[in-house]
Structure 1
């Protein structure tokens, strides 16, 4: 019996290292002058999948960007924490083709930015606590695609708005618009129109995209990206063509949350890259608002 307690005492710190951190998630905030239209705060039991009425869990290899991950529906990769958050967790897995599994969810909900008003979409997100040196090849993202892609459309003509991407653990966030034709085109495909912002730390921050259609003139409408309410990227209709602006600002979109592994932009994991909760993306809520 004494030897049992000695073994457990030695194992206990290791077990704690691999347990998901349970943090009480944030209730989607209310904003003066805006009505909340849709939200998910992931207030479900620990270990369960997000609400299937709200989200599709994507599985398999998607064959994009030369990425390595196999997306799965396993709770190891996609789970609610029990503390009001969603966790998307990458793991090394030698049984897969490229040695990694990860999580990706896409909303069943779609919305079209409202004519004559401001529409706001945001998520509160934090990253796992692994050191930057141990996140080579890790690529979390919160973004939106045009719903036309689900109905026979093509990329990038469907439109894509990346509210937040960050690569390799480096504390820089990127907000990007993709549209039109590949390569080249008015959206500079394949790099898109991109802004960047310093991320203060790996803790909770609010990432937002805001469509301003109050002018009722496509050329003067804007799309803005912000971190914690501070705008770091703005594009205006007049920068593009009417058809590309229509795809980005006048057409239905859906939400995507994922953690990709490797690919042509971040490069690939190396021997120092750590998997698990320390390299996850954790989401407290996703919410959409329209100006009242």
Structure 2
């Protein structure tokens, strides 16, 4: 699933679709258990994260694991999620819920007035990335919506990953990278695996199509049964490799050697990726293979079922979320390089050095930075590069917390208008002495609801 008017799949895919549809009629349906636990961690691997979607029927998925996207776009992002899809994403349990037997159910619905609704979720974690010398395995066991033919026109289920810098920016696709682990349209018996990168249009990933491959699901059709979809990012070999699998059978691969250094770095050099699950209706990809979709013949109410999603990393022990040693607390930590955030945006800055800053920050917003290494000598001061164009009487606190956004602040400073949203100053604050490696949260507190601060960077020091 892409995010900037992409997936205008070339008409050559139409011939593939016809062939695959014909093949699907020859496959034998095999009964597969509707629910299974996350598989045991293989020898030589460690579990990074998982969700097996256990819970009561008609309840939402875990809010600790998932963010529910709603509407027709991210705030300030491309309309219709950048793909031309027509549905309205909601948090309603009619569109998004556990089924009570260990599955997540994402169900497109159509109202009496003809409006389509569906659901889209993304992991709170945005740091899925293999450590140097290791392999990251992202896997989901999924049954696509069980609908085919004219009744399926417009269905677009997907299991995919986006580069962390997309959060809060929404206009830096495809440079930050996208891994489509499983995509399908129009009820065709096929799984597509696609890489998006570089620039749009064209570039090394041939956007907006991307570098992709597809195949029919082994045994039972993709729609009739659960299948396991897996993506591997291999940093244990040089050049690095990206690989796609269905039921353990590899059907697509991409090598680092296919790209220039800048393209590869932009796609892999950031904090990592977050994962997404959704069922769109209509848009560029299904329209490319089925004409304008959905149609009057398209039926609502056919869910995508997700049994589990899991992420493993090769090697034993707890995998790091940053390179060995973590991020040096005494370095200049760019605010836009967070691992997660709430309520903010990323924008171009005019501050010295250029680049980007985090903006639109108001009461209750926060930024998270993983693996910040303070070392053995206690840091006792925090400095941040900030600006404010807040109205008269609007001010707030910039706070530092460790390991939890609700932990007691170890230090803070107050800020009011500095002369404009790009009028920058460096503000210090004393903090309680900190050693070791921590997750650092910048949190923001104000007695008014209005935005009150932009942040460009921050750092820590011993004095």
TM-score band by shorter chain is 0.7 to 0.9
Q: For 1:177-235, what per-residue CA distance to the aligned partner results, in whole angstroms no more than 9, with x for missing partners?
A: 001110011110100000111124121100011011013x4xx1100000011110000
**For 1:202-217, what aligned pairs fall within 5 Å after superposition?**
202=223, 203-215=225-237, 217=238
Partner of 2:71: 60
String of CA shifts for 1:1-49, please: whole Å, max 9, x gaps: xxxxxxxxxxxxxxxxxxxxxx752111122221111000010110000
Q: How is 1:207-286 mapped onto 2 (pairs within 5 angstroms)? A: 207-215=229-237, 217=238, 220-251=239-270, 252-267=272-287, 268-276=293-301, 279-286=302-309
Alpha-carbon distance in 2 for matches of 1:138, 1:99: 14
Secondary structure in structure 1 of the residue aligned to 2:305 = strand
* Residue 26 (structure 1) aligned with residue 13 (structure 2): no
- Higher RCO (CA-CA < 8 Å; seq separation 6+): 1
Q: In terms of Rg, which structure is larger?
A: 2
Provide the C-alpha distance between the structure 2 equivalents of 1:131 and 1:162, rounded to a whole number of angstroms.
22
Q: In the alignment, which residue of structure 1 is the partner of 2:215?
A: 197
Q: Secondary structure at the match of 1:38?
A: strand
2: CA distance between counterparts of 1:249 and 1:208?
18
Tell me how far apart the structure 1 counterparts of residues 249 and 269 of structure 2 sit (CA, whole Å). 24
Partner of 2:135: 118
Does structure 1 residue 181 correspond to structure 2 residue 204?
no
Q: Structure 1 residues 186 and 131 mapped into 2: Cα distance closer, same or farther (>3 Å)? A: closer
Whole-angstrom CA distance in 2 between matches of 1:266 and 1:128? 14
TM-score normalized by structure 2? 0.55
Tell me how large the CA RMSD over aligned residues is. Answer: 1.5
Alpha-carbon shift at residue 248 of structure 1 (Å): 3.6
Shift of 1:127: 2.1
Matched-pair contact (CA < 8 Å) for 1:94–1:100: no
Report 1:132-151 matches (<5 A).
132-151=149-168
What SS does the aligned partner of 2:192 have? strand
For structure 2, list consecutive stretches of 5 or more residues without a partner in the other structure.
1-32, 74-79, 288-292, 316-463
- Extract unaligned runs of 5+ from structure 1: 1-22
Distance 2:168 2:261 in 1: 21
Please report the TM-score for the alignment, with normalisation by the length of structure 1. Answer: 0.86
Aligned length in residues: 263
2:57 to 46, 56, 59: 46
Equivalent-residue separation in structure 2 for 1:129 and 1:164 (angstroms) = 15
